[in-house]
Amino acid sequence: MQGYQFETVAKLIVGPGKTAEIGALLAARGVRRVGLVTDRTVRELGLIDETLAGIEAAGLAVTIYDGTLPDPTTLMLDEACGVLAECDGITGVGGGSSLDIAKLVAVRLAGDQPLAEMFGVGNVRGVRLPLVLAPTTAGTGSEVTPISILTTETEEKMGVVSPQLLPDAAVLDARLTLGLPAAVTAATGIDAMVHAIEAYTSKHRKNPISDALAREALRLLGANIERVCAVPDDVAAREAMLLGSCLAGQAFANAPVAAVHALAYPLGGRFHVPHGLSNCLVLPEVLAFNQPAAGEMYAELAPLAFGPGVPLAEGFRALAGRLGVPTRLREVGVSHNHLPQLAEDAMKQTRLLVNNPREVTLEDARAIYEAVL
């Protein structure tokens, strides 16, 4: 039997209002000035207010960077580092983009390693500043992954994957997700389901712990995604989604994602399609493509998400229809002329494609995009 290893965040705090504890968590690590990474919408909605009150109660100063946007860029990271240069501890409160920026700010401000040397797996040197993360969406699982994704100046999505990016603590406060529009709730929820599926079928580093987390994540997400879209103020359902997203994040942080993400990234980089929606668009066709290699595993997962008798790919096609999620690339501005470039971009995601249960060629990638057009 082959050995395996599993890494995750040191502390997970779950419950309404728990973001008020972030200040104390950072103060206990010797922090005196907190850098808070978020976006303007989250700030204007008051979703960082409890965090700020807790930071003040802990006697800490705070500097806020709220310039994060979807598909964060290398230039955005440089800007955040400039604004937060005097901080000795970092918190991120927001969607996956804010959390990804917060993780890299914590690394960049603790050393002088160039960002270009960090891209890839295991390339970060040194340490990071104290770091606590709190998601406002139930989707990316970024609060428990050692991964940050940036869009470069050439519109290519590149990842930094290193254990230094795991935070000291993650805080799951379902109240932060109550204001999410139904469309965002649906897309981010399906994104989390993709994480669970790809972790469960990953060709590399799949293990019993990640499998158990992926199964429970898919059960929680499948049971609650339609409920939270229909009844957005159901805190219990919101917390179940947030926990499902977190468990899926822990799973794919150890058994990495594959072709769905590889084909989704160019849609974000080139067309600025939100990450969750990008995954939703290509998911059913990638599942169909992988069926010959992953059919048995898909059969194990499908009842958890959709109940007995519903194949996984068909289940997601039907779910997207019920939730009103776009299902065609042309709905997000992609034309037939764009497909060759998208396929070429997808093939550059070798970090992800090696994990797919079935080998993907350039022609395969083009055919999958064609089927979704």
List pLDDT tens digits, range 18-38.
999 999 999 999 999 999 999
Question: What distance in Å separates the CA atoms of residue 261 and residue 275, rounded to the nearest whole number?
Answer: 9
342 in Cβ contact with 273 (< 8 Å): no
For domain 182-372, give the CATH superfamily: Dehydroquinate synthase-like - alpha domain (1.20.1090.10)
For the segment 154-193, what is each residue's pLDDT rounded down to a tens digit? 888 889 999 999 999 999 999 999 988 899 999 999 999 9
pLDDT less than 50: residues of the chain:
none
Question: What distance in Å separates the CA atoms of residue 67 and residue 263, rounded to the nearest whole number?
Answer: 27
Query: For the chain, where do the domains classified as CATH 1.20.1090.10 start and end?
Result: 182-372
**Domain 12-175 of CATH type 3.40.50.300:** no
The pTM of the whole model exceeds 0.75? yes
Q: Per this entry, what is the length of the chain?
A: 373
pLDDT of residue 275: 86
pLDDT of residue 1: 53
Three-class DSSP labels, the chain: CCCCCCCCCCCEEECCCHHHHHHHHHHCCCCCEEEEECEHHHHHCCCCHHHHHHHHHCCCEEEEECECCCCCEHHHHHHHHHHCCCCCEEEEEECHHHHHHHHHHHHHCCCCCCHHHHCEECCCCCCCCCEEEEECCCCCCHHHCCEEEEECCCCCEEEEECHHHCCCEEEECHHHHCCCCHHHHHHHHHHHHHHHHHHHCCCCCCCHHHHHHHHHHHHHHHHHHHHHHHCCCCHHHHHHHHHHHHHHHHHHHHCCCCHHHHHHHHHHHHHCCCHHHHHHHHHHHHHHHHHHHHHHHHHHHHHHHHCCCCCHHHHHHHHHHHHCCCCCHHHHCCCHHHHHHHHHHHHCCHHHHCCCCCCCCHHHHHHHHHHHC
Question: What distance in Å separates the CA atoms of residue 57 and residue 92, rounded to the nearest whole number?
Answer: 18
Question: What distance in Å separates the CA atoms of residue 317 and residue 351, rounded to the nearest whole number?
Answer: 27
pLDDT of residue 157: 85
267 in Cβ contact with 260 (< 8 Å): no
Q: How, if at all, do strands 157-161 and 147-151 pair?
A: antiparallel
For the segment 101-150, what is each residue's pLDDT rounded down to a tens digit? 999 999 999 999 999 999 999 999 999 999 999 999 999 999 999 999 99
pLDDT of residue 3: 87
Compute the half-sphere exposure of residue 169: CA atoms within 13 Å on the CB side of its CA: 23
pLDDT of residue 153: 86
| The two three-digit tokens of residue 161, written as one number | 């994957």
Query: For the chain, where do the domains classified as CATH 3.40.50.1970 start and end?
Result: 12-175
